Structure 1
Amino acid sequence: MRQIFAGMPWWVKWVAVPLIAIVVFGGLIASVVGFVIGLLFKVLVFVVLVGGLIFVVRKFLSSSERSDW
């Protein structure tokens, strides 16, 4: 790979090739990043909902222990 770029100017290696890669694989990269961000958001929502459920159940159990039926 180094032999291919040996005679090329610096801007080909550091500007043109990455731009071509972004144009060719841009949709794939965007979809993978979108999937990861969506998955992290769903995990965050799951954690918040489970934490809220645990909080409500503990609050309910602690209040029911204090009152005599």
Structure 2
Amino acid sequence: MREIFMGLPWWVKWIAVPVIALVVFGGLIASVVGFVIGLLFKVLVFVALVGGLIYVVRKFTSSSTSRGDW
């Protein structure tokens, strides 16, 4: 593989080959990146909802116990 690229100009190795790879695998790369970003967003929403639920439950349980003390 190295011998194949040795005789080629620099612009073929560093510009043409990556551009061809992006054209061929661009859809796959975009779908994987989109999936990962979507998954991270869903995890962030899940963490926010669970954190909000824990906050609300602790708020109401602490206020209900303080009312019971009265």
- Normalised to the residue count of structure 1, the TM-score between the two structures is 0.97
Equivalence for 2:7: 7
Per-residue deviation at 1:46? Answer: 0.1
Identity %: 81
Query: What RMSD over aligned residues (CA atoms) do the two structures have, in Å?
Result: 1.1
Q: Does 1:59 align with 2:36?
A: no
Equivalence for 2:44: 44
1:36-64 Cα offsets, whole Å, 9 max, x none, are 00000000000000000000000000000
Equivalence for 1:25: 25
More helix as a share of residues: 2
Distance 2:67 2:10 in 1: 77
- Normalised to the residue count of structure 2, the TM-score between the two structures is 0.95
Per-residue deviation at 1:11? Answer: 0.3
The runs of at least 4 aligned residues of structure 1 exceeding 2 Å deviation read none
- Partner amino acid, structure 2, of 1:54: I
Structure 2 runs not aligned, ≥5 long:
none
Structure 1 runs not aligned, ≥5 long:
none
How many residues are treated as equivalent by the alignment?
Answer: 69
